[in-house]
Amino acid sequence: MVYHIYCDGSRQSKDRFMVLGGLMLDAEEIERFNQTMQKFRLETNMFAELKWTKVSEQKLLEYKRFVDYFFALNNTDMLHFHCIIVDNHQVNYRKFSKGDKELGFYKFFYQLLLHGFGRPYVRQGEDDRFIVHLDYRTSSYSLGTLKVVLNRGMKKRYNIATEPFVSIEPLDSKTSQLMQVNDIILGAIGYQKNGYDLLAGAKEAKKELARRIAEQAGLKDLKENTQRGSHRFTIWNFRLKKE
């Protein structure tokens, strides 16, 4: 199997809780997904970039339909979603990444990709492969290095020596339907986890859409870990080891 993973982050700098997550689908499903997304856009007259920050009362119905569409695909295993939530107050970048916050950021992506995607989907004795797309950001960190350490981690932690991570490349979310899907789901999780839905004056449209996502995922809310054994839609509150 060849899988494509589309990853991004939300709430990386100003908020307590950062969310990193990704959508994964079989390479053979990408064209079908794009075709059905085009149909959705025509039906809803939604041709601009879809983003959590753009959710409004005027477009709430369309975004709800979009969420329902996402979960129709998720429930039939066409698309899977996995994310980790990191408490920025617990991260000591001096110890964790020699004071380099950019390196620390990619270390968390390593955790997501290794444990959220690598471990569950690579089968022993099979030639399963991952092509990873990360939302473009200005960075001095080498994505080639991330690929190397991921494959080393697969061998060391899970005895997978086939080097399943074959490519990690930047991608502009404006050009990717799947990145835009990911942005909305991540945005809703970060919104609830950081308590923005509880603030006076919180936008009702965002509160309602976040509740809709939790409901469709079969969750009370988007703050806590999903149950062990979940495989289509997972939330993992990451805990750093105490020094």
The SS3 assignment for 241 reads: coil
The pTM of the full predicted model, rounded to 2 decimals, is 0.94
Per-residue pLDDT of the chain (243 residues), as tens digits, is 999 999 999 877 789 999 999 999 999 999 999 898 898 899 888 888 999 999 999 999 999 999 999 999 999 999 999 999 999 888 876 776 666 777 778 889 999 999 999 999 998 888 999 999 998 877 777 889 999 999 999 999 999 999 999 999 999 988 899 999 999 999 999 999 999 999 999 999 999 999 999 999 999 999 999 998 889 999 999 987 765
| Residue 163 CB partners (closer than 8 Å, separation 6+) | 151, 154
CA dihedral 66, 67, 73, 76 (to 10 degrees): -150
CATH numbers and ranges of domains, the chain: 2-237 (3.30.420)
Separation of first and last alpha carbons in the chain:
39
DSSP E strand stretches across the chain: 2-10, 17-26, 80-87, 129-135, 165-171, 233-237
Give the span between the Cα atoms of 101 and 107, in whole angstroms. 10
- Cα angle at 209 between 206 and 213, to 5 degrees? 135
Q: How many CB atoms lie within 10 A of CB 44?
A: 15
Q: How many CB atoms lie within 10 A of CB 119?
A: 14
Joined together, the tokens standing for residue 34 give 């794009």
How many angstroms from the chain centroid is the CA of residue 75? Answer: 17
